[in-house]
């Protein structure tokens, strides 16, 4: 993921590596077309199915490798798309001849439609990974049992339960009198062309803004939401697109086999796409084609020699492949190739202490004000949150306005982070309200609050580890600007301010802990927030870095509302702001740090002394 923008200080080997993602598939397609032209017709017929299975595998790779959800529902979209596409093909080819022009889009649309329904349930109910996988699997099995007794006649097409749907026309690309099923070699070539078009379109999509955001959502969906992305919408779009590819692949399969039966929804079928993906390489998009081809060839060869033992031998081969090539065939080749490239993260070692340029920061903040409007206030009214018997936020009334930083302090478990998370929307309050200036945001989703001007940095640095430093900032800036050039300009400015230009192409995970904290703060600044929450931002920073952070926060507070959760009293003192002491979820004391430090009651709760509490 952490790739350099093409052409920027790249060595020849890096340029070759970057362009290989296009050139290798293009050469492979050309090679496959030549082979398809010359091979034996029976082999051409069999290998057409391998390409179709590769396409089905790619649909899973979009959902799993890029979206992070292991779906066992791809064969459901594949089968249903296949049935629907076949009904269209049977009825339309009777009049027009051509079997694919209507059937393929119909299969894709039907696959997408089903994926929208299933995806909506998964993503909008915020199901966990395991739950989602189980639901997709259950959905496929449900179709399997419904399809077995199912009977339907639509025009010329008759679905007869277990006996399936027959009379499906072959792959016909001509019209009228020229409408004839393609011969096996031609059919294989047609399927290779369709699959490669879909591969290149998908590749383009996955390297577009959409794909970059999907990658970030896979790495840390909570952070993506904290950057203002409607994560569920992106996930649903990705899932739907993959459903369309599966539906189209199912239609191609039906036209290839001229027959469909409910076994397409069986358990065995449901597990094939994950195997193609694992063997070829998760997240590589081309990998599933390699996986399907490998398994196809193995089955073909072993099926001839080993008869009934094929499944056993195939299973053993697969286990060996997955054990010794953990990243799959393409994934392992990719890693091997990378060994011969200059270390992309070498610059992470040339670390200079971060020095915030105050003038640049003020310029950034002025620009942010012009684009996002004046600073906003934040207030809570009787905010109340409980977890079972624990009440970490107990009817808190508090207002924060711009001018000086606010610090929330208190002993461990006092409720500081819970208060922050309830304000931000990560925790839903039982009662009370939260207002962003005049806007009641009590029930708004996290991403909506962020869109309305909230910026949040959690305790641990939340960065997209595999993504380059610059892309981390870009993804934050793009969420606000929705304009690539503007987002790039903002990211570069913040990169300069943080003094991380040299590390711009380094994977964020290669940065030191302190630098990751800075990067996370930089991402928040990219949002031009009107209210900023920082949860223990100084954790893991050196003394010098903490000093820089303190001056950054003081400048920030002149332009926006800043609320900090902090343990370190010395750090809080340097902020010269307003301090709120929380104790057992309640506001215990307020004032400036000097007077609070002299207050015996505060020292009691803060240091755990009990006599006055």
Cβ proximity to ligand ATP: between 372 and 411 the closer is 411
Cβ proximity to ligand ATP: between 222 and 359 the closer is 222
Cβ proximity to ligand ATP: between 358 and 413 the closer is 413
For residue 567, the minimal CB distance to ligand ATP (Å) is 6
Which residue is associated with the tokens 């191609």?
252
Cβ proximity to ligand ATP: between 417 and 437 the closer is 417
Cβ proximity to ligand ATP: between 352 and 412 the closer is 412
Tokens found for residue 579? 């301090």
Cα distance between residue 256 and residue 98, in whole Å: 14
For residue 608, the minimal CB distance to ligand ATP (Å) is 13
Tokens found for residue 259? 């027959």
Cα distance between residue 413 and residue 68, in whole Å: 33
Cβ proximity to ligand ATP: between 294 and 422 the closer is 422
For residue 392, the minimal CB distance to ligand ATP (Å) is 3
For residue 570, the minimal CB distance to ligand ATP (Å) is 16
Report yes or no: 430 and 385 within 8 Å, Cβ to Cβ: yes
For residue 591, the minimal CB distance to ligand ATP (Å) is 19
CA dihedral 254, 257, 258, 262 (to 10 degrees): -60
For residue 451, the minimal CB distance to ligand ATP (Å) is 24
- 401 to 430, contacts with ligand ATP by CB under 6 A? 410, 412-418
For residue 583, the minimal CB distance to ligand ATP (Å) is 9
| Contact code string over 335-374 relative to ligand ATP, x by CB under 6 A | ----------------------------------------
Cβ proximity to ligand ATP: between 184 and 392 the closer is 392
Residues with Cβ within 8 Å of 585's Cβ and at least 6 positions away in sequence, in order, are 385, 391, 392, 393, 394, 396, 414, 415, 418, 419
Cβ proximity to ligand ATP: between 132 and 417 the closer is 417
Alpha helix (H) residue ranges in 339-468: 358-372, 416-424, 446-451
Report yes or no: 70 and 293 within 8 Å, Cβ to Cβ: no
Cβ proximity to ligand ATP: between 7 and 389 the closer is 389
Report yes or no: 283 and 67 within 8 Å, Cβ to Cβ: no
Residue 414 DSSP SS3: coil
DSSP 224: H
Helices (H) and strands (E) in the chain, counts: 23, 13
Report yes or no: 407 and 577 within 8 Å, Cβ to Cβ: yes
- 376 to 395, contacts with ligand ATP by CB under 6 A? 387, 390, 392
For residue 536, the minimal CB distance to ligand ATP (Å) is 8
Cβ proximity to ligand ATP: between 53 and 588 the closer is 588
For residue 581, the minimal CB distance to ligand ATP (Å) is 11
Cβ proximity to ligand ATP: between 109 and 396 the closer is 396
Which residue is associated with the tokens 């309830």?
422
For residue 410, the minimal CB distance to ligand ATP (Å) is 5
For residue 425, the minimal CB distance to ligand ATP (Å) is 14
For residue 435, the surrounding DSSP H or E stretch is strand 431-436
DSSP 65: I
Cα distance between residue 214 and residue 233, in whole Å: 10
Angle at alpha carbon of residue 320, lines to 316 and 326, rounded to 5°: 140
Report yes or no: 579 and 591 within 8 Å, Cβ to Cβ: yes
Residue 484 DSSP SS3: helix
Cβ proximity to ligand ATP: between 262 and 392 the closer is 392
Cβ proximity to ligand ATP: between 567 and 601 the closer is 567
Which residue is associated with the tokens 């900023």?
532
For residue 564, the minimal CB distance to ligand ATP (Å) is 12
Which residue is associated with the tokens 């992470």?
348
For residue 263, the surrounding DSSP H or E stretch is none
# residues contacting ligand ATP (CB under 6 A) = 11
Q: How many residues belong to the chain?
A: 613
Which residue is associated with the tokens 């302090």?
409
Report yes or no: 519 and 463 within 8 Å, Cβ to Cβ: yes
User: Is residue 291 a contact residue for ligand ATP (CB under 6 A)?
Assistant: no
Alpha helix (H) residue ranges in 178-262: 184-207, 209-219, 221-226, 231-257
Cβ proximity to ligand ATP: between 192 and 420 the closer is 420
Which of left, alpha, beta for 609 (phi over 0: left; psi -120 to 50: alpha)?
beta
For residue 391, the minimal CB distance to ligand ATP (Å) is 8
DSSP readout, 308-353? GGHHHHHHHHHHHHHHH-TTHHHHHHHHHHHTTS--TTGGGGS---
For residue 571, the minimal CB distance to ligand ATP (Å) is 14
Return residues touching ligand ATP (CB under 6 A).
387, 390, 392, 410, 412-418
């Amino acid at each position: 993921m952490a790739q350099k923008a093409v052409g920027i200080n790249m060595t020849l080997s890096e340029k070759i590596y970057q362009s290989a993602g296009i050139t290798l598939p293009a050469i492979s397609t050309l090679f496959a077309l030549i082979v398809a032209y010359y091979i034996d017709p029976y082999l051409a017929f069999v290998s057409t199915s391998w390409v179709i299975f590769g396409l089905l595998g790619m649909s899973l790779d979009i959902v799993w490798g890029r979206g992070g959800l292991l779906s066992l529902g791809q064969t459901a979209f594949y089968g249903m798309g296949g049935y629907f596409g076949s009904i269209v093909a049977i009825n339309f080819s009777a009049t027009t001849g051509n079997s694919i022009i209507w059937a393929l889009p119909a299969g894709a649309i039907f696959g997408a439609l089903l994926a929208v329904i299933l995806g909506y349930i998964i993503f909008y109910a915020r199901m966990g990974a395991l739950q989602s996988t189980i639901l997709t699997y259950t959905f496929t099995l449900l179709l399997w049992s419904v399809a077995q007794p199912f009977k339907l006649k639509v025009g010329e097409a008759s679905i007869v339960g277990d006996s399936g749907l027959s009379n499906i026309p072959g792959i016909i690309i001509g019209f009228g009198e020229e409408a004839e099923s393609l011969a096996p070699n031609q059919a294989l070539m047609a399927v290779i062309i369709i699959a490669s078009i879909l591969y290149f379109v998908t590749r383009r999509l996955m390297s577009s803004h959409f794909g970059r955001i999907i990658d970030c959502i896979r790495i840390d969906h909570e952070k993506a939401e904290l950057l203002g992305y409607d994560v569920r919408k992106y996930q649903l779009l990705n899932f739907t697109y993959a459903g369309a590819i599966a539906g189209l692949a199912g239609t191609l399969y039906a036209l290839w086999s001229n027959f469909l039966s409910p076994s397409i929804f069986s358990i065995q079928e449901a597990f094939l796409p994950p195997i193609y993906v694992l063997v070829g390489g998760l997240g590589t998009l081309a990998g599933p084609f390699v996986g399907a081809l490998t398994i196809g060839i193995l089955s073909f060869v072993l099926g001839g020699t080993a008869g009934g033992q094929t499944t056993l031998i195939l299973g053993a081969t697969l286990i060996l492949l997955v054990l010794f090539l953990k990243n799959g065939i393409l994934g392992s080749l990719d890693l091997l190739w990378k060994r011969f490239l200059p270390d992309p993260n070498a610059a992470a070692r040339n670390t200079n202490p971060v020095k915030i340029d105050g003038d640049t920061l003020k310029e950034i903040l002025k620009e942010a004000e012009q684009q996002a409007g004046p600073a906003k206030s934040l207030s809570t009214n009787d905010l109340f949150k409980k977890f079972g018997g624990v009440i970490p936020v107990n009817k808190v009334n508090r207002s924060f306005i711009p001018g000086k930083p606010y610090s929330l302090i208190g002993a461990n478990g006092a409720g500081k982070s819970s208060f922050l998370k309830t304000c931000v929307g990560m925790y839903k309050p039982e009662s009370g309200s939260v207002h962003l200036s005049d806007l009641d945001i009590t029930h708004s989703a996290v991403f909506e609050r962020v869109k309305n001007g909230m910026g949040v940095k959690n305790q641990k640095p939340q960065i997209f580890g595999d993504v380059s430093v610059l892309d981390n900032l870009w993804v934050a800036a793009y969420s606000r600007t929705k304009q690539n050039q503007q987002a790039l300009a903002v990211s570069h400015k913040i990169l300069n301010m943080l003094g991380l230009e040299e590390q711009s192409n380094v994977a964020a995970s290669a940065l030191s802990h302190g630098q990751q904290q800075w990067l996370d703060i930089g991402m928040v600044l990219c949002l031009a927030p009107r209210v900023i929450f920082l949860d223990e931002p100084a954790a893991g920073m050196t003394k010098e870095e903490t000093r820089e952070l303190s001056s950054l926060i003081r400048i920030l507070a002149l332009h926006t509302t800043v609320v900090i959760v902090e343990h370190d009293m010395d750090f809080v003192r340097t902020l010269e702001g307003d301090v709120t002491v929380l104790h057992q979820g309640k506001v215990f004391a307020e004032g400036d740090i000097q007077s609070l430090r002299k207050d015996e009651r505060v020292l009691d709760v803060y240091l755990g002394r009990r006599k006055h509490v």
